[in-house]
Structure 1
């Protein structure tokens, strides 16, 4: 690949981000023009209900390097990232957030490490998270630590979607058929030569975050269940241990009645045992349910997303099988 023959794709998922588009383009385009011979900025409209799509059409008419794919409804950020990978035409791809908390100034360093040092993946590492509360920082750190302990594909701490991926990494990601997609885990699963680049995460330029506590909790749960069977295995051991304790306790009760003639303990003791084992059973059923629910979704095999409208160059492409 000669110095003048490669192209970089920027993937930007958006949801009701009308007010952020112009400022994003104004800051990103000069950076891309200074470090790439050719590029495209591909917006994935994840079912916006404001004027985001109309604004994207205007930007596309003004500059053909700005493209868009619009979903028929909101399918979630992971589906939007997958659609971006499927429609991106570049030799390397960089997902970014439109709020400019992923500083465009890192792109030249990403490109340099890819081009000159042959890294297939270069990811940004947040050296600080000034807008996050102490609770959020603590829970995020705890999640990364737990995830890396129970999976075989450890993910770097404080690394988000902001990263450069070579075309061969993208091609591997597009071969993965699962519908419950935890992209950070999938990035790590691919392997390949990777390197982190630390950066100071700035404040959000405009708009507001779409990830509340409940959505982040479900996101973390998808990651843990999607990349590890250890919760099932651990519960097998817990169940065996509790069953052993119950069996021993049963023998003690029988022996006490036969040898000492004492009655079985009363109502309080009986209810404690019933409630304890009932709670354990419900918890184990809940863990099984999490895995069964994901099997249910995977077996149906529905498309991960539905494209309603796209700019001309994107519409002429064949979407991957995962996108339907």
Structure 2
């Protein structure tokens, strides 16, 4: 990720804080106007969005710090901690919603000023939908786990809001007040699922999961095209740490090849990999012919390993 990318991601994370506060305020206003426990559940989820936005901003800023003596590979994984915390907060929000909804199911009540409350909540949902789109696109473009997690969380909030609005309209039309707390329970279930999804994605990153298959294939092709002069490449490993991609492998060369020539091949391969994966961190172990190949191999034009 370039310095410009870092600034863009950090700026988006910052603006997520006041925007989340505004949306939360609108949703809680809708609850206050109507007394709907389903709208309260929607507002509580937005409270999580506010906390998550603050954490994301802090972690993205920390992750952008350059490598130092204590962290020679950088601070990229800090974003995953943000996403894990957000996932946990999502689960907490779901439990709070259930805490409110279950007693209400025992004694459901009709809503106050439903039209005004629904209109306010609808407006908040539109704002959220637009912001979720921006965050998800930016998270993918800049390879930011924190922005992506935030965007998908807000998108789940939008889906939740749409379901709540549709259900409350049905409750008002039919007079079945119990639909309100039932909707809140459904919302809680959806939020629990989203929380688990965010946590599991982040755990993959913390556990040094390899890059997606299609990306690894592109890396292999780049190596194969640029490895002329070597005798083969093996033990290819990749991992993703936030926006950073790490690639390392062994390259076999003839025993008589000068170090300078081997170094030139390495430079060529590194340029080829960075052409398909800008900013990739690459480590190449050069070894003489005769070493036993192991791990993932890359077939080159002169492969003997």
Give the TM-score, by structure 1 length: 0.30
Structure with the larger strand share: 1
Q: Greater RCO between the two (CA within 8 Å, min separation 6)?
A: 1
Give the TM-score, by structure 2 length: 0.31
